[in-house]
Structure 1
Amino acid sequence: MERSRAAGLPQGASCAAIHGAGTATIPCHDGLSGDYSVKKDDQKNFVIFAVLAALILFGWPQITHWIFPQQQPASVKIEGGKTKPVANAGTDPAADSPKALRDRQVVLAETPRVQIETPSLRGSINLKGARIDDLVLTQYAETVAKNSPPIHLLSPSGAKGAYFAQFGWQGAGAETPDANTIWQASGPRLTPTTPVTLTSQSATGQLFRIELSVDENYMFSIRQTVANNGSAPVSITPFALISRAERSADPDQWAAHVGPIASAGGAAKYVNWKDVDAEAQQFATTGGWVGYTDHYWLTALVPDQRVPVALQQRPTPAKGYQADYQLSDPINLAPGKKVTYNSRFFAGAKEVKLLDKYQDELGIVKFGHAIDWGWYGVIEQPIFYYLDWLFRLVGNFGVAIILLTITIRLLLFPIAQRQFASMAAMRAVQPKMKALQERYKDDKQRQQQEIMKLYKEEKVNPLAGCLPILIQIPIMFALYKVLLLTIEMRHQPFVAWIRDLSAPDPLTPLNLFGLLNFAPPTFIAIGVIPILLGISMYFQFKLNPAPMDDMQKQIFSIMPWMMMFLMAPFAVGLQVYWITSNVLTIGQQWLLYKKHPALKEPIKKDPPKKEAKAK
């Protein structure tokens, strides 16, 4: 549809007839003049559509920033036609902070330590203060490079990014160990088969013991015992804390929580950093836990699930953060008596199956909710488990996503058949509906009554065509969160340059696929996969019969390319899902058009009034 000068037609543009009611002679930019059949409603609709398109195109990034989890930064970049890993900017939360004090290795060497060695962890326990303050996740690398260092989760106080757990006692009538106490260790190494016991003797006669054991994954078991060998009774309570010098480098979002977290009263509590800055957050509960969650990592103190405790998230004087718990009621310990308290400490990756296993087997309340599944958790978790099963079956996550898409389309095929049948019936009654609209154009209420009566007589449902779309929306959002929230998808390759399905496509033709030393702005850096998405949508819309309404034609013509821009920053895995779905839809439409040929036939328009009168 071409426009006049008033609508912004460029110099030298040709003129075209616009069919509609009313005609006008409008001067053209090429010096010609012609008769135009201008439909004012179409012009108004076009303006509305243009405004809406602009709002969507430019407002979409702000909407997605708030509603959707933010995309992971690109894992690779294309330079000189070669794929190169990108450093993980979110690994060390204080790497560029003025709080960074001394080198991590220097601080580690200053105190006596017990080494930690498991299939999943490597690090050490600081005997000064009984702290677990040195932990590396051996199964996860910072980048996709083959020689990438592993993720550093915990670091000691005095080093950059200080982040550690500490265990101890508080009480009256006894001298309890503090942060400067040097504990004695029963062995030099903590492994899944060799537990370690730390002991400390107080000047008031109390013997303190911390028995530490660890499984093959990320769960430590803590057994705290105090024996009152003194001459007087003491009132004492065990405690545990996690200290964090700074906030996580991962963004905290509405749809993907990062930061302080707790489970209390049978519900997960996602606490904002700013709320903790304002005042300490306290939760009284029997059964639960408290800690900090990053996008993929978690630290959590798990008290005895049968004993009432007070969980707390609080700010520290050094503008850091501390999660801790202590018993609701202190323990009165008579001379010659001892008491033992059992708890756990988790520090590791938020692996879905592992968190669910700890929740079920150890009875840790809502431990699986360390992953912020949100409202669609009932859909997201089945999708994850099925997708993970497909991945283990075929060995490639991209192929698993394609198989997932095929499965979903097969499940929705009966609904699609009913949709197409309804569309065919709706198309057949269009002339009758137009006649009713013309007959009762001055009585809108009667018009609606007659149209609804027509629907009932013809047994058609105008909303049936929306059902597959309504079903697809939660599935798309659920898959989106699965791809971005679960660590199982992190750094998963597909083919060629796609080294991370949870990140955007790094390959764009705007810099000749990395051959030019030029980084296009994010808004226009459209990757190859989003371009394929736009092409697949174009052919899908092309297969549909052309709508009668000009505004709908304009929307359908521009929609594929708008979606190409809107989807470009999203995870490649989601785009692979959508492309596969479009290809399957094209094949499905071809089959159903053969079954319902009426859908391909153009709707006959009513003849103009003058011509009808002449007849």
Structure 2
Amino acid sequence: MDDQNKNLLLATGLSFAVMLAWFAIAPPQTAPPPEQAQTETAPVAATAPGTADVNTNIASGNAQAVAEASRITISTPRLEGSLSLLAGRIDDLRLKDYTETIKEGSEIVTLLSPEGSDNAYYGINGWAAASGVDPADVPGPTTLWSTKSTQLTPTSPVTLIWDNGKGLAFQRVISVDENFMFSVEQTVQNNGSAAVALAPYGQIARHGEPPNLKGFFILHEGMVRMSDGELNETKYDNMPEFDINPKERAPADVVQVAEGGWIGFTDHYWMTTIVPQGAFKSVAKYDINNDVYLTEAVQPTQTIEAGASTTVTSQFFAGAKEWEVIRSYQRDKGVDRFVDSIDWGWFYFLTKPIFWLLHTMNGFIGNMGWSIICLTLVIKALLLPLAYKSYVSMARMKELQPEMEKLKERAGDDRQKMQQGMMELYKKNKVNPAAGCLPILPQIPIFFSLYKVIFVTLELRHASWFGPFQDLSAPDPTSIMNLFGLLPWGAPEPGSIVALILIGILPLLLGISMWMQQKLNPAPTDPTQAMIFAWMPWVFMFMLGGFASGLVVYWIANNTITFIQQYSIMRSQGVKPDVFGNITSTFKRSKKKS
């Protein structure tokens, strides 16, 4: 086999090996499992965070009290829901701009749910007693606040008040902006005769794992936090188990944050995060007794002298991981490295600029499918110098074929003589036989990064292209079963095994584009190698068929542009690839075998 085909086989084999590994660690998307109603609601163990000088308080289940407590409506341009006067919980929240599916009439996304409902998930604030006051005399998870407010909007904050009847008066002012950020300002007035020490805290409680947990290697779901510039991610099953047995020390993942940071939970597209002001203690733990995941931010203990008051502020993000919105909180509100809450992955140095470019293009074009194709053109243009060098080398090697054939005849069975002769021939003609593999190498991290962008970022969710392609983050919805949408009956569920077998139009075009690339060169003379080449495009076709259709669009565009580049560059070097002849010879060999 000549070196040109060796290089092509090596490049294809390398690509195949990488894709096979990727297929194993990041399997195709499947339809999420239906939500299962919980037959029994576990009692809550909402804890007031404990520190060296703060007593830990454990509260029993509050489902009935939450159901009976009065509520204040939350209404903003992008959010709807309510907060409970029991502890001032932000525990009922829906995202107006996002629906569960692309089907007409689909419900909007529910982010937070109150205790007692399926998959309870909520934020809560309070004070923990340090000294000079009984823990029962500070507001916590069971405190019933009072208010004159009826609605929380961006222009009308809510003021909650509670007096312990023993000299301490508490006030909490909750406000919300036009996107997804709540501000919680907590004030305590000491009307007593002695100083008291209290620690304000914010907490996010999640009862059980999310019902639609993806569980993909490529995607982080679970606890996420920033601590003095260091990002930390912990999946749900790796969170430290917390035991309320008072005879045992309760383990927790604790980080002291000196300058700035945040902590919370992240899903595929949504996130809840506590953003304290100033220094705080960042805590993550799993209450094993009640199946509750907890993230906490404990701000420094405040000593309030008699007749004095103190105020502390924190923020609570609950919403979609929109890049522009999160970036605005980082840039304008000082939330440290908040953009890193989006899971950019190992190749973040590629993922971030690729996303920025795709996002910018989509802003001009207004269609994510065409934006992906334009992005591919830009990437191929950036890699053109490398591709040019590679294809020129391949063209020169093709010109050397007659001399190589003569060298083989002279060398006979002497492999060492053959290798030495070939090296001299390459050196004399300034040809690098390994150059043919160069274009595939930088494409591997770029491919991974683009897959990460398409799979993880919210901008691709439910992004339409044209016709049947109304969600580029989902697999191709078409199928050969209904002639790719031309016939009136439906197709298999996208992502299912049947859909992978009865492939759609995009995977088919992917296979054809890879096959056409192969036909730029004659098939190897070795039967085994020829068979590998013959099957490679169709193996890839089925492997990638269940991946996000946006990614398949990129790969088709990439293959098409590569074909045009290689054909044009080889012709410019005096080599005319016989594409049609290579195709017909393939069918002739097939007829001979039959």
Q: Given the two structures, how large is their TM-score scaled by the length of structure 1?
A: 0.79
Question: Where does residue 11 of structure 1 map in the other structure?
Answer: none
User: What residue identity is the alignment partner of 2:143?
Assistant: T
For residue 144 of structure 1, the aligned residue among 102, 118, 125 is 102
For residue 505 of structure 1, the aligned residue among 460, 476, 479 is 476
1:204 aligns with 2:181: no
Cα offset, 1:561, TM superposition = 0.8
User: What residue identity is the alignment partner of 1:561?
Assistant: W
Cα offset, 1:109, TM superposition = 6.1
Q: Tell me if structure 1 keeps the 8 A contact 2:83–2:89.
A: yes
Aligned runs of 1:113-132 on 2, under 5 Å? 113-132=71-90
For residue 406 of structure 1, the aligned residue among 377, 388, 399 is 377
Question: Where does residue 323 of structure 1 map in the other structure?
Answer: 295
Question: Where does residue 476 of structure 1 map in the other structure?
Answer: 447
Measured on the aligned residues, the alpha-carbon RMSD in Å equals: 3.2
For residue 356 of structure 1, the aligned residue among 327, 330, 337 is 327
CA distance in 2, matches of 1:241, 1:161: 17
Alignment deviations for residues 227-272 of structure 1 (CA, whole Å, 9 cap, x no partner): 1111121111101110100112222333210011222242111112
Q: Structure 1 residues 494, 516: CA separation in 2 closer, same or farther (over 3 Å shift)?
A: closer
User: What residue identity is the alignment partner of 1:318?
Assistant: N
For residue 39 of structure 2, the aligned residue among 98, 113, 136 is 98
Q: Secondary structure at the match of 2:383?
A: helix
Question: Where does residue 464 of structure 2 map in the other structure?
Answer: 493
1:288 aligns with 2:261: yes
Cα offset, 1:193, TM superposition = 1.3
CA distance in 2, matches of 1:400, 1:600: 31
Aligned runs of 1:150-161 on 2, under 5 Å? 150-161=108-119
Residue identity over aligned pairs, in percent, reads: 39
Question: Where does residue 419 of structure 1 map in the other structure?
Answer: 390
Q: Secondary structure at the match of 2:346?
A: helix
Q: Structure 1 residues 254, 265: CA separation in 2 closer, same or farther (over 3 Å shift)?
A: farther
1:393 aligns with 2:351: no
1:173 aligns with 2:132: yes
Alignment deviations for residues 426-484 of structure 1 (CA, whole Å, 9 cap, x no partner): 2334565667777497685x876665454333212222222211122222211111111
Q: Structure 1 residues 202, 65: CA separation in 2 closer, same or farther (over 3 Å shift)?
A: farther
Q: Which moved more, 1:458-467 or 1:116-125?
A: 458-467
Question: Where does residue 332 of structure 1 map in the other structure?
Answer: 303
Question: Where does residue 581 of structure 1 map in the other structure?
Answer: 558
For residue 237 of structure 2, the aligned residue among 266, 270, 274 is 274
Q: Which moved more, 1:384-393 or 1:475-484?
A: 384-393
Question: Where does residue 28 of structure 1 map in the other structure?
Answer: none
Question: Where does residue 263 of structure 1 map in the other structure?
Answer: 226
1:314 aligns with 2:286: yes
Question: Where does residue 298 of structure 1 map in the other structure?
Answer: 271
For residue 555 of structure 1, the aligned residue among 532, 539, 543 is 532
Question: Where does residue 515 of structure 1 map in the other structure?
Answer: 489
Cα offset, 1:346, TM superposition = 0.4
Alignment deviations for residues 480-515 of structure 1 (CA, whole Å, 9 cap, x no partner): 111110111101111211121111112211466673
Cα offset, 1:398, TM superposition = 1.0
CA distance in 2, matches of 1:218, 1:592: 52
Q: Secondary structure at the match of 2:111?
A: strand
Q: Tell me if structure 1 keeps the 8 A contact 2:66–2:86.
A: no
CA distance in 2, matches of 1:205, 1:440: 103
CA distance in 2, matches of 1:217, 1:225: 25
User: What residue identity is the alignment partner of 1:323?
Assistant: T
Q: Tell me if structure 2 keeps the 8 A contact 1:315–1:322.
A: yes
CA distance in 2, matches of 1:276, 1:341: 29
CA distance in 1, matches of 2:331, 2:424: 55
For residue 198 of structure 2, the aligned residue among 236, 255, 260 is 236
Q: Tell me if structure 1 keeps the 8 A contact 2:479–2:499.
A: no
Alignment deviations for residues 570-612 of structure 1 (CA, whole Å, 9 cap, x no partner): 111111111122222232233223212336489xxxxxxxxxx
CA distance in 2, matches of 1:398, 1:357: 26
Question: Where does residue 544 of structure 1 map in the other structure?
Answer: 521
Question: Where does residue 216 of structure 2 map in the other structure?
Answer: 253
Q: Tell me if structure 2 keeps the 8 A contact 1:424–1:599.
A: no
CA distance in 1, matches of 2:491, 2:418: 63
For residue 543 of structure 2, the aligned residue among 566, 574, 581 is 566
Q: Structure 1 residues 123, 132: CA separation in 2 closer, same or farther (over 3 Å shift)?
A: same
User: Structure 2 regions of 5+ residues with no counterpart?
Assistant: 44-62, 242-250, 582-594
User: What residue identity is the alignment partner of 2:263?
Assistant: V
Question: Where does residue 533 of structure 1 map in the other structure?
Answer: 510
Aligned runs of 1:184-199 on 2, under 5 Å? 184-199=146-161
Alignment deviations for residues 261-294 of structure 1 (CA, whole Å, 9 cap, x no partner): 2222421111122222545222222221111111
Cα offset, 1:416, TM superposition = 2.1
CA distance in 1, matches of 2:318, 2:548: 27
Q: Secondary structure at the match of 1:96?
A: coil
Q: Secondary structure at the match of 1:589?
A: helix
Q: Tell me if structure 1 keeps the 8 A contact 2:92–2:114.
A: yes
Q: Structure 1 residues 331, 505: CA separation in 2 closer, same or farther (over 3 Å shift)?
A: same
Q: Tell me if structure 2 keeps the 8 A contact 1:114–1:185.
A: no
Q: Tell me if structure 1 keeps the 8 A contact 2:42–2:290.
A: no
CA distance in 1, matches of 2:521, 2:400: 18
Q: Secondary structure at the match of 2:290?
A: coil
Q: Tell me if structure 1 keeps the 8 A contact 2:254–2:281.
A: no
Alignment deviations for residues 349-380 of structure 1 (CA, whole Å, 9 cap, x no partner): 01112222222222222321211111211111
Cα offset, 1:134, TM superposition = 0.5
Q: Given the two structures, how large is their TM-score scaled by the length of structure 2?
A: 0.81
Question: Where does residue 54 of structure 2 map in the other structure?
Answer: none
Q: Structure 1 residues 203, 521: CA separation in 2 closer, same or farther (over 3 Å shift)?
A: same
Q: Structure 1 residues 107, 577: CA separation in 2 closer, same or farther (over 3 Å shift)?
A: farther
CA distance in 1, matches of 2:288, 2:274: 18
CA distance in 1, matches of 2:490, 2:325: 45
Q: Structure 1 residues 293, 516: CA separation in 2 closer, same or farther (over 3 Å shift)?
A: closer
Q: Structure 1 residues 89, 106: CA separation in 2 closer, same or farther (over 3 Å shift)?
A: farther
CA distance in 2, matches of 1:385, 1:277: 36
Q: Secondary structure at the match of 1:271?
A: strand
Q: Secondary structure at the match of 2:103?
A: coil
Cα offset, 1:131, TM superposition = 0.4
CA distance in 2, matches of 1:517, 1:238: 55
Aligned runs of 1:425-436 on 2, under 5 Å? 425-430=396-401
